[in-house]
Amino acid sequence: MSTEQIIFYFFAALVLISAFMVVSMHNLVRSIFLFFVTLFSLAALYVFAFADFVAVTQVVIYVGGVLVLMLFAFMLSNKELLSKINPVNGLIRINHIAGILVCVLFLFILLNVIIQTDFENLKWIKAADQISTNDNTVHLIGIQTMTRYLLPFEVLSVLLLMALVGAAHLARKERKV
Amino acid sequence: MIPLSHFLLISACLFCIGLYGVLTKRNAIQVLIGIEFMINAAVLNFVAFGRYDAEQGGGQMFALFAIILAAAGVAVALAIILNVYKHFKTIDPVKTDTLKD
């Protein structure tokens, strides 16, 4: 096993374990801080797919933006958000079982498809020219953004403006009439 | 070189963990975190397939777009959650079952 593989599987295990702990934990603060760990190790996995720019963006946007937003959301709201949601009764348990069943069955379908597909021998994967370690992906992304993907880029900027205005409108204080 | 199928296996597991969070959590912020996991699983798939696209970089470009869309979505969703909390005094999705009044 090479060093590359050891590091990759270490981060993969970190992603899955911390993600599972996030959803199984009752304490909201702890689960949000564990969410940090998941996002950081996901960024590490992106690096292994030669997507270093995406990894940096992941760190900047998620850790710098989304998580700070989430932390502020529950700091600005009442303390009750932090307290444990009511203890489970019989009905909720049944809800949980249905949810677990759906997830496990869906996971089974996905794993089945992935394991049965022989990716290495697919025609288009054999024909594709892969990104190598020497390629400059930042250079590639910069050029592609301004040429081939200009329209999605511009649409995205309009959508970001809409989201910003919408969020500001929703979060503003209601004026007494 | 990590094989493509290992990326896909990880993202499948991550997607199902997110699905579990969305289906069973009783706190809107945790449901939102579950959705973020599902989006991140999709981004991991984009990036993993993007390795086979050295000319156009389609996978990486759309991974970036997906990350930005997720961030915009979180901003709006958190504003809505704060408003729901102001109105219902709870963010338990089971209890917030009326649209108006």
C-beta of residue A36 within 8 angstroms of C-beta of residue A67 = yes
Q: Is pLDDT at B95 greater than 90 in this prediction?
A: no
The closest CB to that of A130, out of B6, B17, B51, belongs to B51
Establish if B95 belongs to a structural domain: no
Contact between chains at B64 and A57 (C-beta distance less than 8 A): yes
CATH number at residue B55: 1.10.287.3510
Mean pLDDT by 10 residues, chain A (177 residues): 91 95 85 91 93 92 86 71 53 74 94 90 83 85 93 94 90 69
Residue A118 — φ and ψ, nearest 5°?
Answer: -95, 85
Domain count, chain B: 1
Give the mutation candidate from A42, A78, A108 for the B interface (greatest B CB count, under 10 A): A42
One-letter amino acid for residue B13 of the chain: C
Nearest to A151 by CA among B61, B10, B100: B61
A40 to chain B, any CB pair closer than 8 A? The answer is no
**Residue B48 falls within a domain, yes or no?**
yes
pLDDT digit string (tens) for B24-76? 888 888 899 999 999 999 999 999 999 988 888 889 999 999 999 999 999 89
Structural domain includes residue B94 = no
Q: Does B33 map to a domain? A: yes
Q: Phi and psi for A116 in degrees, rounded to 5?
A: -75, -25
Range of the structural domain that residue B52 is part of? 4-88
- State the complex-level ipTM: 0.89
Q: pTM score, two decimals?
A: 0.89
Q: Chain A contacts of B14, Cβ < 8 Å?
A: 15-16, 19
Name every residue whose Cβ is closer than 8 Å to that of residue A49 and which is 6 or more positions away in sequence. Answer: B2, B7, B47, B48, B50, B51
